[in-house]
Amino acid sequence: MSNATINGRRALTLSTRARDRVQVGRLGPSRLRIALSYAVLVPVTILFVSPIIYMFIASFKPNNEVLSGFAVFSPQDLSLNNYLSIFSRFSGPDTGTFTGFLTTSLLVSSVTVVGGLAVNSIAAYALARLRWPGRNLLLLGVIALVIVPFEAIAVPLFYMLDGLRNTYLVQFLPFIASPFSIYLFYSFFAGLPKSLEEAARVDGAGAWRTFFSIMLPNAKPAFATVAILQFMSSWSSFLWPVMVIDDPTVRPLPLAISVYVGTPPYGWGNIMAFGVMMVLPMLVVFLIFQRWFIRSVVASGVKG
């Protein structure tokens, strides 16, 4: 029967199988029922995405016309001025620059993801497929750490890493090794059939070669899942930057928009333009790879 032990492998294969079955369909619904379904879905969906539409429209409106009730939806006075003003508003070391914020976010997220994939996947492989003393003890340790949320260690980390404040390093260093990523990789590797690597091992391939030539090519879904989850949590990371960053030149995007909205005077049109610029890259990546995003979330369950 269905159970929600969302371990990597099961969940990764789940959505494809499920889709096949849905195609088979149940007893065909009547036309009226179909019409009724859409009659509920379409307005609910429009209402649901309206804050996003509002953000986009407001970003093209003059600041003084954003707060104007429904008049904001009128197609007059649309321009790119708000976008241009973001670049003039953030133009020096004392304000930071938009490209600076973007670079920080991209750099921190990429290093977290790439470093995390490397470090966590090989550790998980050693825990799942190799025989060595101390393996079970370490595995137990990793599983115990999965439950420690970042918030529970933020204060001592802030105290420990005081010397690294206002650097790129402090923004990714604590997040590369991740118990949760190791756990996701572990359950994926542990679920692969033993026969997969046996031939290679009999031929005398060592642990490293087996990992790179046999495990890596078979673990693409696990890598995609972990990459997407670590990227999403790193990209939207907020609490930690609030604690360790006050230099605008190394400020990531989420902190930058919060500082922007916390320092009047500001115009709402400008802020929404900032928001669009900040979310658009992620939104495009999401729309292209959304199947993977959704699979990853299903495979995980934990979001930063």
Partner 1 sequence: MLLRPKTPVASVQQDTGAAVVMVIPAFLGLLAFVAVPFLLAIFLSTQNLHFGSGLGPTWMGLEQYRRLLLDPLFSADFYRALINNATFAVVVVPAQTGLALAIALLLNRSLRGMPIFRTFFFMPVVFPMALVSVIWKLIYAPDDVGMLNTVLKVVSFGHIQPHDFLGDPKTAMAAIIVTSIWSGVGFQMVILLAGLQSISGSLYEAAAIDKAGKWQQFWNITMPGLRNTLVFVVMVTTILSLRLFDQVYIMTRGGPLNATTTVMYQAVTAAFDRGNIGNAAAITVVFFVLVLAIALIQRWFLREEREIA
Tokens of 235: 């990209």
Q: Residue 43 interacts with partner 1 (CB under 8 A)?
A: no
Tokens of 17: 């199988």
Query: Site residues for partner 1, window 168-197 (CB under 8 A)?
Result: 173-177, 179, 182, 194, 197
Min dist. Cβ of residue 99 to partner 1 (A): 18
- Residues 50-89 vs partner 1: string with x where CB under 8 A? -xx-xx--x-------xxxxx-x-----------------
Rounded CA-CA distance 36/58 in Å is 33
Min dist. Cβ of residue 211 to partner 1 (A): 8
Min dist. Cβ of residue 7 to partner 1 (A): 12
Rounded CA-CA distance 154/151 in Å is 5
Q: Residue 27 interacts with partner 1 (CB under 8 A)?
A: yes
Q: How many residues bind partner 1 (CB under 8 A)?
A: 118
Q: Give the CA distances from residue 94 to residues 10, 142, 168, in Å, rounded to whole numbers and listed in that order.
A: 50, 42, 17
Query: Site residues for partner 1, window 126-155 (CB under 8 A)?
Result: 126-127, 130-133, 135, 138, 141-142, 145, 147-149, 151-155
Min dist. Cβ of residue 166 to partner 1 (A): 14
Determine the interface stretch with partner 1 among 75-83, 90-98, 203-211, 216-224 (rule: CB under 8 A): 203-211
Rounded CA-CA distance 39/103 in Å is 44
Q: Are 7 and 187 a contacting pair, CB within 8 Å?
A: yes
Determine the interface stretch with partner 1 among 86-94, 96-104, 213-221, 285-293 (rule: CB under 8 A): 285-293
Q: Are 300 and 225 a contacting pair, CB within 8 Å?
A: yes
Q: Give the CA distances from residue 281 to residues 21, 38, 105, 238, 284, in Å, rounded to whole numbers and listed in that order.
A: 34, 31, 12, 18, 5
Which of 123, 164, 192, 216 touches partner 1 by CB under 8 A?
A: 123
Backbone angles phi, psi at 287, to 5 degrees: -65, -35
Tokens of 26: 């149940």
Query: Site residues for partner 1, window 243-272 (CB under 8 A)?
Result: 243, 253-255, 257-258, 261-262, 268, 271-272
Tell me the three state secondary structure of residue 68: strand
Of the pair 97, 211, the CB lying nearest partner 1 is at: 211
Min dist. Cβ of residue 248 to partner 1 (A): 16
- Dihedral sign (CA 96, 99, 100, 104): positive
Q: Residue 14 interacts with partner 1 (CB under 8 A)?
A: yes
Min dist. Cβ of residue 287 to partner 1 (A): 7
